[in-house]
Structure formats: structure tokens, C-alpha cells
Structure 1
Amino acid sequence: MSALARISNDIDEDDRLSEADFQRISALIGREVGIKLPPTKRLMVEGRLRRRMRVLGMTSFSAYGAHLFRQGGLEAELPYLINAVTTNKTDFFREPEHFDLMEKLMVPKLLEARRNERMPLLKVWSAASSTGAEPYTAAMVLADIAAQRRDFRFVLLGTDISTDVLDQGRRAVYPAEQIAPVPPAKQSRYLMFARRTGPRPEVRIVPELRRLVRFQCLNLMDGTYPFDRDVDIILLRNVLIYFEKSDQEAVINRLVGHLRPGGYLLLGHSESMIGTSVTMRQVAPAVFQKAGA
């Protein structure tokens, strides 16, 4: 039996994270990355931390709690703890109305405002990019538009707090079942399918798109963001619901400062009311335009 298997067998599945340690972890995650972990999330946190405990060779939550809070292991462990407890739900063409608007409204308006420029560069930022499905979806849409118009260039930035999902975004390899929402024509143009299919088939984004998408770690709770301030479209979808109201407004205000005049901010449809505090013009559900266009 391998050492890892022995550790797995030694972990008591009935062991529970103490109330005190859960509260400490909840407060820590809220303070560091703005994400709320209410008591209803305790079982989820326990399940995810069990996997991390196996990696560390720990057999109880009390040992993990002591490592974090009483034995000086917090600084080294914090990135792994963040990776473990953050939610990374994402899909290709999630909330597809936004990508229809990108094609039919946003890109034409942005290019019209820059009609005096030769081959303007459109910048799109997925500010909670998770494993990359969102920025690669936007890249597919923009690549189709660029192929038809031939009058602009584009680049994309994907940022997230989790280093694990950023690594997957850079690899751009996904389970084949995950790309079901991608229209067939885009699948044939922008996805590579393995010649030999294994028990769990995978696909990869074509290199032409991978070259246009850059991934970088970013904590949205940071006071400033080290990125350009002439971004055309920022997607911040389905992440603010995990933040406190004051943090939601602070994050939105910081991101709006990175939009060019006339640029667009897209929130998740479930977050449309959050956007009511934004001093921008609402042009569609959960879609806001910065003044100056």
C-alpha cells in the first residue's frame, strides 16, 4: 500500500472541523479574498480540506487547524487554502445573451467610437476567469467578428485568485462534455479533438486563440490592480454574490477605473441589482456602459 493510500485510510471521515477553527478560516477567507463562508458552507469546506489534508499527510482537522493557526504554517498554506475553498463554477457560453450583445452591440459601438484608428486593439478582461471557459468563449466570439470585419485586433486577460484554475486556463484542456454549449461551427474552428479518445475524452483550445489570452493571479480585494486603464470590456460575472455589499461596491469601482470611456462592464444576471450602485448607463440586463462614448 502506498504512503498516500495509508494516509487516506487513516483519515476519519466522521472527524469534523471545530467551530472555532471554522470561524477562523471563515474570517480569514473573508478578510483576504472577500468571499463569505457562512455556517451553511461548513460541510463544503470540510470536504475540500480533507483532500488538502491528505496531501499534507494530516489525519485530523485538529492537526490542520493547529498547523494553520498555532504552529506558524499560515503564510505558506494560505494559497492552498484559498484554492481549496474558492468556488470555480464556470461554463462555455454561460449566460449566452452577453456574448450575443458583444457581437451585435458592444464591439460595433466600440469600433465606431475608434473609427479614426487603423486596426484598433480591443482589450477584454475576464476578472474572475476560473478555468478559462469565459475568456476563451469571448475569444471565439471576437475571432469570428474579426474574421468578418478584418478591421480590428483583440487580446484577452483572465484573472483569478486561484492558482489551480489559472494553470488549467493556461493549459486550455477541458473535458469533452464541457464544450457542449459551444456551437458546432466554433467547435470545428477553435477546438482540437484527440485522435485517440480515452475513457474521458478531452479537447484543447487551438493555439491561435491561446496566444491571445493571458492569465494572471489577482485578488479582487487588493486596493489597486496592475493592469491597463483602457480596457474595452470587463466581465465580472457570478462572483460578487459571494462578497459583502461594501466589498462589492469597492471592487466594481476599482474595475470601472480600468475601463476606457464607452467601455462595458458585465455582471452576472443574478447580480443585476448589485449594479444599481454603479454610476454607469445600463444598456441591457447586467450590462453597463461607462460614460464618454
Structure 2
Amino acid sequence: MTEITDREFKVFQDMTLKLLGIKLQEHKRTLVISRLSARLRDLKLESFSDYINYLEKSDNAGAELDKFINKITTNETYFFRETQHFDFLANKAFPSIEEKIKSGKKNSLRIWSSACSSGEEPYSIAISALEYFKGMRGVDIKILASDINTDVLKKAQTGQYRREDILKKVPKSLSDKYFQTPSEGIMQVKDEVRRLVTFKRINLLDSRYPLKNRLDIIFCRNVMIYFDESTKKHIMEMFHQNLEDSGFLVIGHSENLFAYTNLFAPMKNTVYSKVLGSRGEQK
């Protein structure tokens, strides 16, 4: 395995922080070596310094930068991860939206899975929405699913997963109803689920997000722990700006928003509600 010098690792740390707002800690050094060594082999480069030079000066630098980001940002995910969040949808969020729909205040449901990885999270949300609203006609359900990693987005768009992974995490009543088997060992999310989800590449560091409407719920789970404080602040302010006044933010089990009580109020199980009024206004 190719060795990496302190200088080379520092360059990758700086690049990752600038591009993604992610702090690459020292204990990630081995992971960086492992993942980027494949790019060295593919490009027939001798060292990480050669790779840095390629990223900075090659005619193909833009495309390679996407590959660099994809190697750095691969994350674990699975269907119905952190089941308490899906209980929250069924028992709190969806009933509150149903009440507004029945009173004529709205006829839509808008949810954003902002770090969707390979698609298990937004498809789980879509299945949950279909299960809850199946008896109601005319409810316009749209789920935006985004990630910075183009490789995982391509996988997500296929809606195909290993059969053993589906059967391990998805209740049989739901896997029978919402999945099909196009080939041996593979299960695919059915079209009625897939048509609710739109996949898009979005960098959460961007100054504006490509959103047409305010959102009822934003999922941003197990991602904030990788960001530096200024990036977290930016993302929280952007989420607040793009949520409905009655909106909810769902984060990961190891995360908290203690530093952003002016923007979000804790409910339970790492679910937060939007704070209204002057305390929640953008600075």
C-alpha cells in the first residue's frame, strides 16, 4: 500500500474541509490511503503528491475531483435505520399533516432526505408515507433525496439492493408489498415508491439550495458529526430557512443541536421542531 506523508494528508484535509466542510481527523489517515490508492492505480500514478498535482493541474481535474469526493464520502446506511424516526413519522408528523390536509390548509407532503447515500433512507420514507396516506385521495407526496456523492446517487436511482439486505431490515409485509425481484438475489423498489422520490446532487455547503417549496420534514442523519462548526451553523440556518413554520428536522442518534436552540427546539428521539420568531431568524 502506498504511504502518505504528513504534508500530503494535510492537503487532503484542507481540500475536504474546503469542498465539503468535513474535518478529516488523524484517525482517518488509513481510510484515506485505502480509498485513494485505487485512484492512484487507475491513473497509474506513483504517489499521493502525483495525485494532488493531477487534481490541481490535469485537464481532467474537474471529473477527478468528483471521484475524489466519492471516495471520501461513502457512508453506511440501510432501510428503516433508527426505527424511532419512522415511528415519529407515523405517530406525530404524518397525523399533523393529515389534519392540515383535511382542513383544507394544504394538500401536499414535502420531505428532504439531505444525505441520502444509496437511497435506503428516502425509499423508507416513501414507503412510510404510502402506508400512512394510502386511504387519502389527492395527497401530493414528493421526496427530494440528495447527496454529494454521485456514485451512491447512481445506485440509489436503480432502486436495486441485495435480497438479504432487504429481508434483514424490511418487515416481510412491506417487502412483499413494495419490492419486486428482477433477478436472483436482487430486490428492486417498485415504481409506486420510486416515483415519489427525486434524486439530485446537492452540496450542503452551497449558499442556496435548489428547492422549489418549503419542506415539511428534513432528514439529515449521521452527517453533522463530520462537519466543522462553521459548516454546521450554515447548514442549520439553511434548513431553518427552508422548513415550513410547522416543520421538523430529524438528525442522527449520536448528534444534537444544543448550539442551535435559536433555530430548533428538541422534541424527542433526535427530532426537532422549527423555532419561530426573532430567535429563529437568520443572522
Flag whether TM exceeds 0.5 (same fold). Answer: yes
Partner of residue 238, structure 1 = 222
Name the residue aligned to 1:162: 149
Which among 242, 248, 251 is matched to residue 232 of structure 2?
Answer: 248
Q: Does 1:227 find its partner at 2:211? A: yes
Equivalences, count:
275
**Which contiguous aligned blocks of 4+ residues in structure 1 show a shift greater than 6 angstroms?**
none
Verify: 1:268 aligned to 2:252, yes or no: yes
TM-score by length of 1: 0.87
Confirm or deny: 8 A CA contact 2:142 2:197 kept in the other structure: yes
Equivalent in 156, 161, 170 of residue 174 of structure 1: 161
Q: Secondary structure at the match of 2:246?
A: strand
Note the alpha carbon deviations across 1:30-76, whole angstroms, 9 max, x for none: 11111111111111011101122232233433432332246576434
1:50-107 per-residue CA deviation (whole Å, 9 max, x = no partner) reads 1222322334334323322465764342111000111321111111100011011101
Residues 178-197 of structure 1: pairs in structure 2 closer than 5 A: 178-179=165-166, 180-194=168-182, 196-197=183-184
Check 1:151–1:73 CA distance in 2 against 1; reply closer, same or farther (3 A cut): closer
After superposition, the Cα gap between the structure-2 partners of 1:98 and 1:230, relative to the gap in structure 1 and judged at 3 Å, is same
What is the match of residue 279 of structure 2? none
Offset at 1:111?
Answer: 2.4
Structure 1 residues 255 and 283, CA gap change in structure 2 (3 angstroms)? same
SS in 2 for 1:271: coil
Match of 1:155, SS state, is strand
Secondary structure, counterpart of 2:55 in structure 1: helix
Aligned-CA RMSD value: 2.0
CA–CA separation in structure 2 for the residues paired with 1:95 and 1:86? 21
The percentage of aligned residue pairs carrying the same residue is 33
Aligned to 1:33: 20
Say whether 1:280 aligns with 2:261.
no
Taking the aligned partners of 2:275 and 2:261, their CA distance within structure 1 comes to 15
Distance, in Å, in 2 between the alignment partners of 1:136 and 1:112 is 24
Equivalent AA in structure 1 for residue 181 of structure 2:
F
Residues 274 and 248 (structure 1), Cα distance of their counterparts in 2 relative to 1, 3 Å cut? farther
Q: CA deviation at 1:25?
A: 1.1
Gaps of 5+ in 1: 1-12
C-alpha distance 275-205 of structure 1, shift in aligned 2 (>3 A): farther
TM-aligned CA distance change 1:256 to 1:273, over 3 Å: closer
Structure 2 stretches lacking a partner, 5+ long = 277-283
Residue 180 of structure 2 aligns with an amino acid whose one-letter code is M
Amino acid at match of 1:34: G
| Partner secondary structure for residue 257 of structure 1 | helix
Normalised by the length of structure 2, the TM-score is 0.90
**Take 2:217 and 2:179, find their aligned partners in 1: how far apart are those partners?**
24
Please name the residue that 1:124 is paired with.
111
Contact 2:113/2:219 (<8 A) preserved: yes
* Residue 18 of structure 1: how far off its partner (Å): 2.1
More deviation, 266-275/153-162: 266-275
Separation (CA, whole Å) in 1 of partners of 2:57 and 2:3: 18
Indicate how the Cα distance of structure 1 residues 247 and 112 shifts in structure 2: closer, same or farther if over 3 A, else same: same
SS at match of 1:17: coil
Q: 2:69 aligns with which of 82, 92, 117?
A: 82
